[in-house]
Amino acid sequence: MQFSMLTLKVLVVEDSTTQLVKIKFSLLNAGYEVIVATNGHDGYMAAVADRPDVILLDMVMPVLDGPGMLLKLRDDDELWNIPVIMLTALSEADSIRKVLSLGAKGYIIKPFNLEVFEDKLKVLFPQVDFSLSPTDKIKTDIDRRIISYEEIGGIHVFAIPSDRLSIGVKLAFSYIRRLLAAGGRKFVVDFSTSDMLSSEDMSVLISSAASLQKGIEFVIFLSASEGFKSQLGQYFETAKIKLIASRTELPTAFS
């Protein structure tokens, strides 16, 4: 049976900044969640912390190379079964045979090719529907137990519950970043169930918004609370932040 599931989380371990950036944005634009590291040691620690679904691992790196990281993964009772796909140059045939014998699930000859990568994923994850568009892949991953999500006339609306503000804000902005990478340009973060944010919650909101860099102009906040409006005014430039009072304003909010 074929069905859609979570957006896959990919850990990319590559020491070349140029290659890393190209791979990262290729994957983000295709709807994947991406974690990066620049050597095998940091890659292993990222795998411990974030538990990716699949790892793209460069062969030759400083500190700890690809085969070395692969061995550490295979010796870890919690991480041994994460599929690893090696990134390699044509000249590394002997090394390829070695890492395949150590348990790598395949390899990609550089430069990275998204279609080749997804062909390998289809074998590793037969339950994933790779026919989904990048935006739909992201939508299937949204955790509705914490935040609610709906798309209204092309606007992505995230409602943040008053009792889970900090984690709700972090989740909403993580999806906004990914939808921005996939081409989304209209987002509303709905705080209508909250009158005020604590200093801690506001700090989370500020840092989350800052993480969008230039993407903040595509985000509108929704709240009818005067207290919330006052809080926003203290922390954000009015030219970059727009506030609406209800969802009835959505049709004209981005005009």
> What is the per-residue pLDDT for 237?
58
Kindly report the pTM of this predicted structure. 0.58
State how far the Cα of 191 lies from the Cα of 147, in Å rounded to an integer. 11
> What is the per-residue pLDDT for 232?
82
Asked whether residue 1 is domain-assigned, the answer is no
Is 13 in the same domain as 88?
Answer: yes
> What is the per-residue pLDDT for 81?
93
Is 61 in the same domain as 119?
Answer: yes
Mean predicted lDDT score pLDDT of the chain: 86
Is 163 in the same domain as 240?
Answer: yes
98, pLDDT greater than 90: no
Asked whether residue 137 is domain-assigned, the answer is no
> What is the per-residue pLDDT for 194?
92
Of 59-73, 198-212, 239-253, which one has max mean pLDDT? 59-73
State how far the Cα of 220 lies from the Cα of 12, in Å rounded to an integer. 32
Q: Which domain holds residue 232?
A: 142-253
Which helix (DSSP H) or strand (DSSP E) does residue 244 occupy? strand 242-244
> What is the per-residue pLDDT for 1?
30
Of 74, 89, 124, which residue constitutes the final position of a domain?
Answer: 124
3-state helix, strand, coil in the chain (%, to 5): 45, 20, 40
CATH number at residue 98: 3.40.50.2300
